[in-house]
């Protein structure tokens, strides 16, 4: 019997992280190898943060295992000096750095100064830069004089998953998911705006209700309590659903039940949430924070937080011609979007492959 050695991928990537759904989806179906996330000390299985590979000592010890390092998320775990050391270690090892700038503002942080310092290290040092929208690319060009390649966000709902079409209802359901109320979430003001918008819509004959989801365990308990107090005064038109953190399937079902999803952002640049809503056929209303409105502009309406009239008008525009939850038309829309996602996946993966090849060619390394 002749044994055949396993195929070795042409390019091995140390992705920071590897286990995030975004990373898995941009490289789906490719022959590129992605190193698994080392488990951080004391972490449970499956947790990638703080990212172990984002470390100069790790690079020095494992440089023979990868060709390119690609940083996405998790740098907030470290001080700026740590990232400078990482860049120096990559240079010493002859390994190029690719950086996807997802966030000009980090929604995990209240104080953006550390994040800005991190960007001032990583953006100039990167051999190749990526971002998700033309607006973000223009901001990068203005601030650092660097050109970032725009590669759209990939699908969020797995391509082989059955998309929930939602449960129908007589009133239009306008929903916001506050989740664990991270620093970039403007929970109280968003809910107050939703309540005002619902009242305005009902006064104009549009029978709408609000639905607010929030985790039992949150980072900002005071905000959660204020949200609860607001909704208690509007029980006839808005419901509060407090649950444990929803898994992926339950989360998709809860979004699919909505006529319009409302983003509660205070800070940030792009939105994976908007992408999941697009996969599910649910239009989105959001504040002018970052460039989320550029991701799927035909399915996104802007409103200023605190302006219930603007949100009501945004909802009215989005409801026009939009298939309702539980309808055959909603299922048709989802199927069409699934086809678009499948077609886009190959292009997104090819764009990343080309990035890695360019980065390697600059260092003189042949994959």
Q: Distance between CA 176 and CA 210 in Å, rounded? A: 8
User: Does the pLDDT of residue 2 top 90, yes or no?
Assistant: no
- Topology of domain 172-326 in CATH is Rossmann fold (3.40.50)
Q: Are 334 and 65 in contact (CB under 8 A)?
A: no
Higher-pLDDT residue of 42 and 96 is 96
Please state which of the four CATH numbers 3.30.70, 2.60.120, 3.40.1000, 3.40.50 is assigned to the domain occupying 12-156+345-363.
3.40.50
pLDDT of residue 3: 36
| 198 and 219 Cβ atoms separated by less than 8 Å | no
Q: For the segment 243-268, what is each residue's pLDDT rounded down to a tens digit?
A: 999 999 999 999 999 999 999 999 99
Q: Do domains 12-156+345-363 and 172-326 have the same CATH topology?
A: yes
Strand order in the sheet with 238-243: 238-243, 208-215, 172-179, 260-262, 284-286, 300-302
Average pLDDT in the 164-168 region? 96
pLDDT for 52-94, tens place per residue?
999 999 999 999 999 999 999 999 999 999 999 999 999 999 9
Res. 1: pLDDT tops 70: no
User: 10 pLDDT band (50/70/90 cuts)?
Assistant: confident
Position 7 pLDDT exceeds 50: no
Token representation of residue 32: 């590129």
For the chain, domain boundaries? 12-156+345-363, 172-326
User: Is residue 85 within 8 Å of residue 57, measured between CB atoms?
Assistant: no
**Interatomic CA distance for residues 165 and 273, integer angstroms:** 17
Mean pLDDT within 202-211:
98
Answer yes or no: is pLDDT of 6 > 50.
Answer: no
Q: Are 119 and 146 in contact (CB under 8 A)?
A: no
5 has pLDDT over 70:
no
pLDDT band (50, 70, 90) for residue 157: very high
Q: What is the pLDDT of residue 30?
A: 74
Query: Mean of the pLDDT values across residues 213-237?
Result: 98
Q: How much is the average pLDDT of 17-35?
A: 90
As a whole number, the mean pLDDT across the chain is: 95
CA distance 335 to 329: 10
> Which pLDDT score, from 0 to 100, does residue 106 have?
96
Determine what percent of the chain is predicted with pLDDT higher than 90. Answer: 92
Can you give the pLDDT at residue 101? 98
- Convert the pLDDT of each residue in 297-309 to its tens digit: 999 999 999 999 9
Place of tokens 């051999």: 127
Q: What is the mean pLDDT of residues 280-294?
A: 98
- Contacts of 50 by beta carbon, 8 Å cutoff, 6+ apart: 40, 74, 77, 78
- Can you give the pLDDT at residue 300? 98
- pLDDT for the residue numbered 45: 75
């Amino acid at each position: 019997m002749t044994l055949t050695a396993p195929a070795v991928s042409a390019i091995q990537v140390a992705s920071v992280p590897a286990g995030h759904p975004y990373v898995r989806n941009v490289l789906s179906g490719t022959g590129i190898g992605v190193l698994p996330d080392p488990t951080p000390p004391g972490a449970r299985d499956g947790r990638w943060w703080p990212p172990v590979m984002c470390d100069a000592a790790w690079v020095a010890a494992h440089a023979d295992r990868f060709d390119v390092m690609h940083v996405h998320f998790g740098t907030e775990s470290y001080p700026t000096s740590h990232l400078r050391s990482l860049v120096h270690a990559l240079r010493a090892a002859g390994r190029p750095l690719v950086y996807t700038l997802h966030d000009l503002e980090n929604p995990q942080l209240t104080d953006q100064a550390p994040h800005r310092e991190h960007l001032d290290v990583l953006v100039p040092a990167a051999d190749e830069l990526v971002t998700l929208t033309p607006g973000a690319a223009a901001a990068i060009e203005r601030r650092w004089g660097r050109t970032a390649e725009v590669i759209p966000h990939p699908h969020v709902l797995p391509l082989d998953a059955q998309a929930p079409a939602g449960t129908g209802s007589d009133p239009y359901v306008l929903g916001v998911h506050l989740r664990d109320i991270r620093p970039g979430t403007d929970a109280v003001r968003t809910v107050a705006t939703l309540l005002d918008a619902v009242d305005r819509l009902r006064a104009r004959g549009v029978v709408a209700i609000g639905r607010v989801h929030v985790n039992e365990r949150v980072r900002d308990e005071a905000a959660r309590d204020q949200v609860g107090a607001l909704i208690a005064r509007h029980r006839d038109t808005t419901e509060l659903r407090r649950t444990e953190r929803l898994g992926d399937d339950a989360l998709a079902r809860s979004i699919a039940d909505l006529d319009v999803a409302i983003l509660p952002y205070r800070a940030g640049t792009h939105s994976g949430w908007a992408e999941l809503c697009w996969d599910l056929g649910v239009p989105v209303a959001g504040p002018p924070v970052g460039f989320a409105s550029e991701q799927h502009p035909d399915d996104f309406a802007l409103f200023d937080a605190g302006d219930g009239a603007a949100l009501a008008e945004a909802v009215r525009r989005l409801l026009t011609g939009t298939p309702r939850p539980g309808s055959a038309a909603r299922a048709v829309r989802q199927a069409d979007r699934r086809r678009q996602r499948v077609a886009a996946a190959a292009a997104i993966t090819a764009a990343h492959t080309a990035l890695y090849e360019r980065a390697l060619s600059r260092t003189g390394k042949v994959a």
